[in-house]
Chain A
């Protein structure tokens, strides 16, 4: 079974600085999807960024970018120019793409990000 590990329960960053959140996963599949979701105190789940495993190019979405290392099974999230509104719980998630019957997402335990003014 696929597992997702986030080894940093908590991280903090100074406003306007850059922070990197770690995520590793375990899978025997070659094709899959990886996601970062943000969960602010309001408890919504907001999609931040998505990466297809077959793509070598790292996904970027404005101030958010990933460092996808397929061989190492690592998928870190970099937040540049951190803003107070970035403070949230961040979840890394994995989803298989082998068949439509295997489309549940596996989440990591989350990293709580604090942004200091």
Chain B
């Protein structure tokens, strides 16, 4: 069964540095999402992406964050000038259409030192 893949599984970065989290959505999916889960807390929506543009974003997704689909397969989340509170599990998800279930990747654990 096709799946969403995320790399790396664990990223350790110094505070203030930029980090790029990578995702390969399921190939025939059109909608892409990023979520964040701070340790011990609920999963929070960050952003959704469709037709090469952001379709919706939460209040968490400020100017520090950006997303990109640089080619036909990858979907990236860039976090600039990372802060300690950016430490979390970041999940990528994709769905074929907006009304279809979202399939999640295994997540990238981001640790900011």
Chain A interface residues toward B at CB < 8 A:
33, 35, 37, 42-47, 50, 91, 93, 97, 100-110
Give the residue of A35, A46, A103 whose beta carbon is less than 8 angstroms from that of B55: A103
A104 contacts B106, CB within 8 Å? no
Smallest CB separation, B93 vs chain A (Å): 8
Which residues of the partner chain A approach B24 to less than 8 Å between Cβ atoms?
none
Which residues of the partner chain A approach B106 to less than 8 Å between Cβ atoms?
42-44
A104 contacts B107, CB within 8 Å? no
Interface assignment of B72: CB less than 8 Å from any CB of chain A: no
Interface assignment of B58: CB less than 8 Å from any CB of chain A: yes
B42 contacts A100, CB within 8 Å? no
Chain B count of residues within 8 A CB distance of the other chain = 26
Chain B interface residues toward A at CB < 8 A:
31, 33, 35, 41-45, 48, 50, 55-56, 58, 89, 91, 93, 95, 98-99, 101-104, 106-107, 109
Which residues of the partner chain A approach B89 to less than 8 Å between Cβ atoms?
43
Which residues of the partner chain B approach A44 to less than 8 Å between Cβ atoms?
104, 106-107
Which residues of the partner chain B approach A104 to less than 8 Å between Cβ atoms?
33, 45, 48, 56, 58
